[in-house]
Structure 1
């Protein structure tokens, strides 16, 4: 997200909230450290998102890890947040929650969708993982599909 915003000239006008329930995952992300084995998939995602440069320009490989450039981290707030028990803490224009809901039962998925709805500004975007859906939850009618394949939805109500 930081890279796309930077390439579009919007990074300095944005604040990204990166949340997770796992403190270790947050710590690694805050340091900008990711496994080298993930770079092929990340590069494909970058290209698919319309990236305009060589993805490798944004990180340095070191042994079995990569470290993303610190300039990408300056507008990111890293925080622990539990989709199941925590409340909304801001109003957002975009929420990305990829490949989390697939691990939740229906009740927990509904709770997460309630949180997304309460946290998303009208006309804001919700992006889910490729195995996830907004179907069959109480907020389905509040969104319009912008791109079904990419699981991109806009809040309309």
Structure 2
């Protein structure tokens, strides 16, 4: 893409003014997200709208809610799949599930759940381990559109081969096809997988904890945050976990060098699974 901006200092001022305007007008706070990622997505929207400057984009976004929605979808591009990073789900099955067996009731939070594929992956693991009946999985995201897709339980038919391979690598105990039905080119996950799921909007930047959890998944979300925001969210997760609860991050994320680092045990380092010290 040919960039329309040329002065790095001025670019950053304009991008930050745009983000400040979005926060004040619509309540979405991207001001502490990683600048390089935000700038790239803003420039993409600038090109798609056919506008000459970021100032023009800001004017359009602040006066036209539909233009804001288009930019919002660019800023929150979902990247997810069933059993994404299969080794992480295999590790969850092997090193976290045994601890969950000891609990009378299980509460799990998928923070930044996107369109829900990893939420349903967790539900399948719990089902196969005989734990889904006593579990409640809370799945939250900032995007209403992503949540609506997640609630539907619809999967892209063109991804099913990859999803089946991921499931097998993640230690699946059955045939992946047992968990969905396919008709007229539409793949729909079985209703029993959705029975214990709760989908709700939650903003990690501005919202607080809403329960105490035994497991929190937040995978490949904080890579888009600047360090101050990462520390803020890490504190939120720590306060939301029960003693002995598990935090599961993406494989490019870590609690190292955060204020919370010494408050966890490293439970499975390759797959970024940590356990809150009792």
Aligned match of 1:69: 190
The Cα offsets for residues 85-105 of structure 1, whole Å up to 9 and x where unpaired, read as 110000000001111011111
- Is it true that 1:100 corresponds to 2:210 in the alignment? no
Which of the numbers 270, 273, 276 marks the counterpart of 1:149? 270
Q: Give the alignment's Cα RMSD to 1 decimal.
A: 1.7
CA distance in 1, matches of 2:251, 2:183: 30
DSSP-derived class of the 1:123 partner: strand
Partner of 1:133: 254
- Gap runs ≥5 in structure 2: 1-121
Select between 28-37 and 55-64 the one with higher mean Cα deviation. 55-64
- Greater shift, 99-108 or 62-71, is seen at 62-71
Question: Considering only CA atoms, is the larger Rg found in Structure 1 or Structure 2?
Answer: 2
Distance 1:109 1:63, change over 3 A: farther
Deviation at 1:64, TM superposition (A): 6.3
- Structure 1 ranges of 4+ moved more than 3 A: 36-45, 61-65
CA distance 1:94–1:44, change in 2 (3 Å)? farther
Q: 1:40 to 1:125 in 2, by over 3 A?
A: farther
Counterpart mapping for 1:1-157 below 5 A: 1-61=122-182, 66-157=187-278
Summarize the Cα distance change of 1:39–1:114 in structure 2 as closer, same or farther, 3 Å threshold: farther
Q: Gaps (5+ residues) in structure 1?
A: none
SS for the counterpart of 2:244 is: strand
Take 1:6 and 1:12, find their aligned partners in 2: how far apart are those partners? 8
Partner of 1:46: helix, strand, or coil?
helix
Higher helix share: 2
Evaluate the alpha carbon distance shift between residue 138 and residue 45 of structure 1 in structure 2; reply closer, same or farther with a 3 A threshold: farther
Query: CA 1:29–1:105 in structure 2 vs 1: closer, same or farther (change >3 Å)?
Result: same
TM-score, normalization by structure 2: 0.53
1:11-54 deviation line (CA, Å, top 9, x unaligned) = 11110001111111111111111323444554344334322011
Name the counterpart of 2:37: none
Say which SS state the counterpart of residue 266 (structure 2) adopts.
strand
Of structures 1 and 2, the one scoring higher in RCO (CA 8 A, sep 6+) is 1
In the aligned structure 1, how far is the partner of 2:263 from the partner of 2:146?
32
Change over 3 Å in CA distance of 1:110–1:64 after alignment to 2 = farther
